[in-house]
Structure 1
Amino acid sequence: MPKFTAVLTHGMVLLALVFPFLLNSSAKHGHSLTRQRQHHVHHQSQSNNTMNKATSNHNLQQAYIAFQAWKRVIYSDPSNITSNWIGPSVCNYTGVYCAPSPNNTKVQVVAGIDLNHADIAGFLPEELGLLSELGLLHLNSNRFCGILPQSFANLTLLFELDLSNNRFVGPFPTVVLSLPSLIYLDLRFNEFEGPLPPELFNKKGLDAVFVNNNRLTSVIPSTLGSSSASVVVFANNKFGGCLPPSIANFANTLEELVLINTSLSGCLPPEVGYLYKLRLLDVSSNNIVGPLPYSLAGLAHLEVLNVAHNMFTGTVPGGICILPNLSNFTYSFNFFCEEEGICMNLTSKGVAFDDRRNCLKDKPLQRSKKECDAVNEHPVDCFDYHCGGSTATAPAPVPLPSPPSS
C-alpha cells in the first residue's frame, strides 16, 4: 500500500540519540513510529528534572521566553494542553520534548514540539525563533492562523515541519526554504495562496512535500531542479498549465506523485515514464488531453494508477496493464476508444479497475456516440500541443468540451 493512501503519515525515530541526522527519509515511515519517538524524547525530558538545571541552562532560558510569548498569543485551548506551561522547567511542559544537544550532549535542549490535534487557536510569535535547536515541530489539526514568522530562519536543525490542518494564510512561506536540515514539509489544508517558489524543488535533502488543499495558483514550476523527494502531493490547488517535462528530475527518488484536481491541461509528458521508482501516480480530475503515454509501461514498481476524469483519448496501452505490481488502475470518465490485450480483462490479472464512461465498444456504462464523436473526431497531436506559450509557432489546439463532473 503506498504511503499516501495510508493516511500520508511520517515518523520520528530516536530523536534524542541522532538528533540532527535522524532520518534519511521521514516520509517513508508511518505514524506508528511517532509514539516511539515521543516515548523516547519524553524519557529524555525526565532527566532534566530540577528547577536549578532549567534556570542555569541558556538554551532552556531562551525556550522559556519563547513559550511564554507563545502562550500569550494562544486565544483558545479547549483541552488545556498549555495549562502547565508555567515556570522555567520547559521540559515538563505538555507537548514539549527535550534531548541532549547535538553540540554538547551534557546540555538538554528543546528538541521537539508535538501539539497535533490539540485544537489550539492562536498564532506563532517571532520568539519561536529562539528555539534554535528544535528538530521537529508538529502542529497538525489546530486553529493557528496568520503567517509564519521570519525568525523561523534560526531553526537550522529543524528537519520535520508539520503545519497541516490549520488556518495559515498569505503567500507560500519562503522562510522554510532557508531551513538547511528540512526533510519533511507538510503545509496541506491551509490557506496559502499564489505561486510555488521554484527554489522549493532545488532544496537538497527534502524528502516529502505536501502542499495540497491550499489556494496555490500559477503553474507547477518548470525548474523542478535535482530534487531528492520521494513523495510530492500537489492535489486540490489551481495551478493550471501542463505538468512540466522536468518532472523527470525526480527519477532517482520519487515514489508517489499526486496531482488530483490541480487544473492541469495539455498532454501528460512522456517523461513521467522516467520515474522508475514510482509506486503511486494520480492525475485524476484535471483537463489532460491526448493519449496515455506508452512510456508508463516502464514503471515496473507502479501499484496504483489513476487517470480518471480527464480527456484522454486513443488506446489504453497493454504495456501498462501488464505491469508486475499494478493493483489498481482507474481510467474512467475519459474518451478512450480501445483497450489493448489484457486491459480488456484486468479482473483475470487480479487488478482492480474502473473503465466506466469512456468510448469502449461492448463495455457497459460508456459514453454516448455523440459525446465520443465530438472529441475523437479532433484528435490531439501532443507534439504540437504546448502550454503557456512555450512555442509561439505551435498551432493552437482544437477546443475540447469540458469533461462532465459525474
Structure 2
Amino acid sequence: MKQKNRCILWSGVALLLLLALFLSSVDASEVHIGSNGGPLNDAQVRYIAKRQLLYYLDEFGDRGENVTVDPSLVFENPRLRDAYIALQAWKKAILSDPYNLTADWVGSDVCSYSYVFCAPALDNSSIRTVAGIDLNHGDIAGYLPEELGLLRDLGIFHINSNRFCGTVPKKFKNLKVLFELDLSNNRFAGKFPYVVLSLPKLIYLDIRYNEFEGTVPPQLFDKPLDAIFINHNRFAFELPDNFGNSPVSVIVLANNKFHGCVPASLGNMTRLNEIILMNNGLRSCLPPEIGMLKNLTVLDVSYNGIVGLLPESIGDMLSLEQLNVANNIFTGTIPQSICKLPKLENFTITNNFFTEISRSLFSCFG
C-alpha cells in the first residue's frame, strides 16, 4: 500500500513539473494579457487554462489555503468569511480587469464589494450572505477557482461577455441554492460542465457562445429547468428520447453539430414557448407530435437536413408567431392547416423542395 501511495505521489509531482515546464517554455510576449481588454488569442487562452490546471492540482483548493486572511479582519459571520476567501481567490485568478470592476474587492465588508449582492440567508434570516454576483460585460480575463464553491448561499452567478477560460470548477457542486447560472460569451472549453447536473435548484442555464464540445448528457433534459441555452458551442450528439421530459419554456440548441432525428417526445414539452434548433445536422422528419405544443410561439429548424413533409399538425399550434423551416429538404405540399394559425407573423420556407404552394395559402397571409 505504501508503494502504491508513493507511486501516486510521484505521478502527481511529475504532472505538476510537466505543466510548470509548459508554462515556463511559452514566450512571455505571446501570453501577455494587457489591461486594455479585447479578444484573447489562442496562446493566451491556453496559458490561462494551464494556470487553472496547475491550481487544480491542489484538490483541496476550496478550503482557501491560497488565501491568507488577516487576523485583524472582523466578519459579520462565518459565511461572509468564506465569501471573502472565495472572492479573494477569484481576484487572484483574474489576469485582466480593464474596467476595474473588482478593484474595491478589499477588506472584510464583502457586501460592499461592487457587483456582489448580499441578502438574508434562506435558512437563517438573521444573517447576511452573498446571494448574487453579476460581472456581465466586464471583459475580464481569467479563470474560475475552486474556492468559489465556498459561496454556498449563492443564488445568481452571472459572468456573461467576459474572457474567462478553462473549465467550470467541480466545487460548484456545493452551490445548492444556485438557480441562475450564466457563463455565456466567454472562452470556456472542454466537455459539457457535468457539475451543473448536481445543482438541485438550478432553473436557468446559459453556456452559449463558448467552446464546449463532445456530447450533452441526456440527464440534462430530466432536470427541472425553465431555460436552456447551449447554442454556439461544438457539441455533437443525437437528441435523446428523453428530450421531451424537459419542462423548459425556452431551449436554444442552435449552431452545434447535433444529428439524427427530432424525437417524438418533443410533443410532451407542453410548457415550451420557444425552441431554436437551427444550423445543426438534424435529419429524418418533424414528428407529428409537434402539433401538441399549444404554447409554442417560436419554432426555428432552419439550416438542417430535415426531410419529408411538414406535418399537418402544425396547424394545431395556435400560439405560433414565428415558423422558420428554410434550408432543409422538405418535400410535398405546404399543409393548408397553417392558415389556421391566428398569430403567425413570420413564415420562412425558402430553399426546400416543396412541389406546390397553393394560392389559397398565399391569401392566408394577405
TM-score by length of 1: 0.71
Contact 2:297 2:319 survives alignment (8 Å): yes
The CA RMSD measured in Å over matched residues stands at 1.4
Distance in 2, matches of 1:340 and 1:234, equals 33
What is the match of residue 336 of structure 1?
354
Instruction: State the secondary structure of the residue aligned to 1:156.
Output: coil
Distance in 2, matches of 1:146 and 1:253, equals 34
What is the match of residue 286 of structure 1?
304
Distance in 2, matches of 1:54 and 1:148, equals 31
2:142 aligned partner, one-letter code: G
For 1:42-61, list aligned pairs within 5 A: 55-61=75-81
What is the match of residue 242 of structure 1?
261
Distance in 1, matches of 2:138 and 2:263, equals 39
Instruction: State the secondary structure of the residue aligned to 2:196.
Output: helix
What is the match of residue 335 of structure 2?
317
What is the match of residue 325 of structure 2?
307
Residue 242 of structure 1 deviates from its aligned partner by 1.1
What are the ranges of 5 or more consecutive residues in structure 2 without an aligned counterpart?
A: 1-71
Distance in 2, matches of 1:282 and 1:341, equals 24
What is the match of residue 98 of structure 1?
118
Change (3 A) 1:58 1:298: same
For 1:348-387, list aligned pairs within 5 A: 348=366
Among 160, 172, 180, the residue aligned to 1:160:
180
Residue 54 of structure 1 deviates from its aligned partner by 5.9
Instruction: State the secondary structure of the residue aligned to 1:266.
Output: coil
What is the match of residue 20 of structure 1?
none
For 1:58-69, list aligned pairs within 5 A: 58-69=78-89
Instruction: State the secondary structure of the residue aligned to 1:325.
Output: coil
Distance in 1, matches of 2:120 and 2:360, equals 58
TM-score by length of 2: 0.78
2:296 aligned partner, one-letter code: L
Instruction: Work out the percentage of aligned pairs sharing the same amino acid.
Output: 57
Distance in 1, matches of 2:351 and 2:265, equals 27
Q: Deviations over 1:297-351 (max 9, x none)?
A: 1001101000001111111111113311111111111111212463223441xxx
Runs of at least 4 residues off by over 3 Å:
none
For 1:111-130, list aligned pairs within 5 A: 111-130=131-150
Distance in 2, matches of 1:114 and 1:322, equals 44
1:154 aligned partner, one-letter code: N
What is the match of residue 232 of structure 2?
213
Contact 2:245 2:265 survives alignment (8 Å): no
Q: Deviations over 1:55-77 (max 9, x none)?
A: 13111000000000000110010
Distance in 2, matches of 1:56 and 1:284, equals 54
Contact 1:217 1:239 survives alignment (8 Å): yes
2:282 aligned partner, one-letter code: L
Distance in 2, matches of 1:140 and 1:122, equals 13
Contact 2:73 2:108 survives alignment (8 Å): no
Q: Deviations over 1:85-118 (max 9, x none)?
A: 1111111111100011111111000000000000
1:319 aligned partner, one-letter code: S
Instruction: State the secondary structure of the residue aligned to 1:296.
Output: helix
Q: Deviations over 1:12-40 (max 9, x none)?
A: xxxxxxxxxxxxxxxxxxxxxxxxxxxxx
Distance in 2, matches of 1:269 and 1:304, equals 18
Among 58, 63, 88, the residue aligned to 2:108:
88
1:232 aligned partner, one-letter code: I
Distance in 2, matches of 1:97 and 1:342, equals 57
Q: Deviations over 1:343-390 (max 9, x none)?
A: 223441xxxxxxxxxxxxxxxxxxxxxxxxxxxxxxxxxxxxxxxxxx
What is the match of residue 163 of structure 2?
143
Distance in 2, matches of 1:271 and 1:124, equals 42
What are the ranges of 5 or more consecutive residues in structure 1 without an aligned counterpart?
A: 1-51, 349-406
Question: How many residues are treated as equivalent by the alignment?
Answer: 295
Distance in 2, matches of 1:90 and 1:175, equals 26
Q: Say yes or no: does 1:229 pair with 2:230.
A: no
What is the match of residue 174 of structure 1?
194
1:221 aligned partner, one-letter code: P
Q: Say yes or no: does 1:326 pair with 2:326.
A: no
Contact 1:132 1:157 survives alignment (8 Å): yes
Distance in 1, matches of 2:324 and 2:151, equals 42
1:207 aligned partner, one-letter code: D
